[in-house]
Amino acid sequence: MYTEESIRDIVNAQRKFFHIGQTLPIKWRIKQLKRLKEAVIARQDEFVQALCEDLGRSELEAYLSDVGPIISEVNEIISGLRRWSRPEVHFSGLMCWPSIFTKVYKMPYGVTLVISPFNFPILLTIGVVAAAMCGGNTVVIKSSSKSAASTAVLKKFFAEVFPPEYITLIDGGHDVADMCLAQRWDKIFYTGSPSVGKHVLAEAAKNLTPVALELGGETGNWCVVRKDADLKDAARKIAFFKLLNAGQICININQIAVAEEVAEEFIQELKSAFVAQVGEHAETNEEYPRLITTAAYDKCAKLADEHRKHIVFGGIGDKSTRRYAPTIIYPVDINEPIVQHELFCPLLPIVPFKDADVDSLMDIIAEREHPLAMYVFTKNMKWANRVMQTQQFGGGCINEVCMHMMVKGVPFNGTGHSGMGAYHGEWGFREFTHPQTVLKGHTHFNLSLREHPYSGKAGKVKMRLLRLFER
């Protein structure tokens, strides 16, 4: 059992280790990242088994969603770290003469806390830890108690690969998380819900600790299907994404707005896509993931029952396995509560709209809290590009789902109620380092512009020079 004192001892040990400077050399960091990658590859079967126990993931889905992306992410970090970490050299300007050049060093924050979620317990733990490592930090991980099998495997994994003064994992419930948040950290990275994100931010503010938040978005991620969209293609992609992890994904589609002119046709295509991928009864398909806890299952089932008269597909589940079938709810008004909060389950409400009124629809979406993702399906690229450049959200796709997450070199982030900060590749390095500006002065040929006197003839000369230098 952890106590506040035992957690403080862990933090103090890491702070002591950080202060000896061992994490600073880039060569040392790369060596640790290679050790991390080799260990992930060696233990991937354990991770896959844990994901099956926690979430009912098949081997392929576990590798596709958790294990494979970690290996790809660490490879990107290893290949880019030397370049990202080089000090930037800037021209200081004539005002700083004779100190012509200034350097910006990318310094680690120090001792960091990573709070990871249950839905992708391997990826969203090791992936964030890799970003912290590449920045030269030490890491304490607080993993989710809901994904117990994954947490157990991760705790053993980190204990065997790294010393605890460098990286260590703490398990336990919300009480342990609060004990962690009570400590003084140099950086906190939290992935989870907006409500807990507010709590993390409030606790961090007590020590003015910088925080990165990756949140699901309070009013959910929208997908808009216009009447000119390729409905079969859209349905196939949306069905795949909603089936993935049984909808328990922070960037998953929360609700779909479909042009009423094609709504019936789209729904038929969506039904066919679900059946083609998991059969008539997804709740009995062992490849289909389950909800994380019985409480999550009950919440999903209760919400489905409240909208039973509008369910046009699915609406059934197996509580013993915690599998609930993908469920289409239609029609749903845009102001109903079900489309004004994150669902995090396989329910899929569909909101019809007149295609001619699509801009009014987008105005309503824009007035709500910023989502983590946005997806649009249309052949009107002018409109789609305008939406993507004017709506505020974390990231998204045109005529595709979730694939922006697979692109190397781009950030994963949220804004407002969907988060703050960013990571993946170089963006993760930036998130876990502080840009530190250093100017080196000289003892000869220093200008006296900044020194008194500021009046008289000398002052006039200085003013003319200042105006010249500042052009």
Tokens (6 digits) for 407: 């692109």
Catalytic residue among 214, 269, 342, 431: 214
Tokens (6 digits) for 242: 């909603």
Q: 229 vs 258, 352, 381, CA distance in Å?
A: 10, 15, 11
**Contact 350/253 with Cβ under 8 angstroms?**
no
Pairing outcome for strands 255-259 and 347-353: parallel
Tokens (6 digits) for 52: 């099956």
In the block, tokens 């949220």 appear at: 414
Question: Is 402 annotated as catalytic?
Answer: no
Tokens (6 digits) for 395: 């990231």
* CA angle in degrees (0–180, nearest 5) for 299-305-311: 120
Which 8-state DSSP code applies to residue 249?
-
CA distance linking residue 45 with residue 51, whole number of Å: 10
CA-nearest of 161, 152, 183 to 13 is 183
Question: Is 214 annotated as catalytic?
Answer: yes
Catalytic residue among 134, 180, 223, 250: 250
Instruction: Give start and end residues of each alpha helix (H) in 162-262.
Output: 174-181, 194-205, 231-243
Please report how the helices 358-367 and 381-390 are oriented relative to each other, as an axis angle in degrees rounded to 10: 20
- 300 torsion bin: left (phi>0), alpha (psi -120 to 50), beta (else): alpha
Which 8-state DSSP code applies to residue 5?
H
**Contact 246/324 with Cβ under 8 angstroms?**
yes
Active site (catalytic) residues: 214, 250
